[in-house]
Amino acid sequence: MKKIDKKVADSYFREKTRNMIIYFIVWFLVSYGVVLLAEPLSEFTINGFPFHYFMGAQGAVITFIILLFVNAKLGDAIDRKYGIDEEKNRQISSGKVLDH
């Protein structure tokens, strides 16, 4: 398995960390922000339920599932950008020889 240059590795982890911080901010806003703003958000309704109740019951779960898919898609794109290929890693770990 080839070694990754320190600058490339630092850039890779900086980008992955930035994305995780963004996901945590979205998670916080959806989980706690809606609760903290429940009173003003109760004016809006979705399917007859106040918005804050809907976000607590359904919206947070849907948002988390969407975040999982976004993380997978962006994570794969970042891996490809920095030359970290999951298929090659799988082949290497199984003992197969790779053509360079």
Domain ranges for the chain, please list them: 6-92
In the chain, count of helices (H) and strands (E)? 6, 2
Which pLDDT does position 22 carry in this prediction?
A: 96
Give the pLDDT band of residue 87 (cuts 50, 70, 90): low
CA-nearest of 20, 6, 25, 24 to 75 is 20
φ, ψ dihedrals at 48, nearest 5°: 85, -5
Q: Compute CA distances 11 → 4, 51, 98, whole Å.
A: 11, 40, 26
pTM score of the predicted model = 0.69
Judge whether residue 19 has pLDDT over 90.
yes
Which of residues 14 and 95 earns the better pLDDT score?
14
The pLDDT of residue 98 is above 60: no
Angle made by CA atoms 96, 76, 28, in degrees to the nearest 5: 140
* pLDDT of amino acid 20: 95
